[in-house]
């Protein structure tokens, strides 16, 4: 099971992915699927559910801004 962190742009998503991978985490960039009606196109970082809080902590520490976390699978 994965969770998706919504990013403001593909640049932020790639930056976030690299930050997480540098910390030994699994992460990849995806285009937002069902969330288009909320965000109007965009990108997210998908991480294993169990690592979500750790991922958010890393992003916060590195001042990488994200828009939110999807409640369900992207």
10 Å Cβ neighbour count for 21? 12
Under rule CB under 8 A, residue 24 binds other proteins:
no
Question: Which helix (H) or strand (E) is 10 found in, with range?
Answer: helix 10-22
Least distance to other proteins, CB of residue 1, Å: 20
Tokens 């969330």 -> residue: 35
Least distance to other proteins, CB of residue 63, Å: 9
Under rule CB under 8 A, residue 65 binds other proteins:
yes
Q: Which span (19-27, 37-45, 51-59) binds other proteins, by CB under 8 A? A: 37-45
- The span from the CA of 3 to the CA of 24, in Å, is 17
- The span from the CA of 28 to the CA of 14, in Å, is 8
**Which positions touch other proteins (CB under 8 A)?**
7-12, 14-15, 18, 29-31, 39-43, 65
């Amino acid at each position: 099971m994965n969770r998706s962190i919504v990013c403001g742009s593909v640049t932020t998503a790639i930056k976030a992915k690299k930050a997480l991978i540098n910390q030994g985490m699994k992460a990849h960039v995806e285009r937002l699927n069902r969330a288009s009606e909320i965000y109007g196109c965009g990108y997210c970082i998908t991480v294993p559910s169990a690592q979500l809080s750790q991922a958010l902590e890393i992003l916060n520490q590195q001042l990488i801004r994200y828009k939110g976390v999807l409640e369900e699978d992207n």
